[in-house]
Amino acid sequence: MRTSYAEWKYRTEDTWLAVRRAWEDGETAASCARRFDVGLANLWRRRAAENWRRRREPDPVPEPVEGWDRWARERLEEWEVHRDDVRRLAVDLLTALEAETVEDCSAWHLGWIYRQRARRLGPEAAARDREAAKGRPWADAFWDEDGRLHHLSWLDNQTLMLWRDECRKALGLPEGAAPSVPIPPDPTEAEWERALELRERSMLLEVSKREG
């Protein structure tokens, strides 16, 4: 016996989830409606209410002007140069850590070396390092009046202050450009504290990235 009203179709949430996945993966609404036997109008209502979104295909990576082969060879050469630089630095740092006193070390890692030697070799080595550093440009900046070595962020900032011009040259900064980088010349107390704060935030961010 025919009824005078439309027969309602009930579909479970699992069915509608499958419909949504199919539509978001690129299938047309009409095809989804036929395949899952759902009303097309209901499908569009669900789409609007639940904010369905098509999955966008990632943009293709454009081929370099020089071609992939040449580009890859150049990147490999850069990677090998960087690898060799890291190895040379590792040897220099290990040598500085194991030496009787710090005699020859990259200025950018000087504070870190002193901190690591104090930590690994003990107070006697730390005292020898401080005594050997007397008369050097960084001596008064690295240790306080009681002979305690400052924390690393302070040492790094002092290093940038002592070798500010060398740092700017390494960064490729022309004279007068970005005068506050790496830190302002003759900074005020507020500028110095701000530089320390920014460096400590940067260090914390790097730690959180490694631990995350």
CA distance 110 to 142: 10
Tokens of 179: 């005068």
pTM (global) more than 0.75: no
CA distance 138 to 130: 10
Tokens of 156: 């790094």
Confidence band of 5 (pLDDT split at 50, 70, 90): very low
pLDDT of residue 10: 77
pLDDT of residue 25: 87
149, β-bridge pairs: 143
pLDDT of residue 149: 94
Burial degree of 18 (CB within 10 A; 0-12, 13-18, 19+): middle
Whether the CB-CB separation of 43 and 19 falls below 8 Å is answered with yes
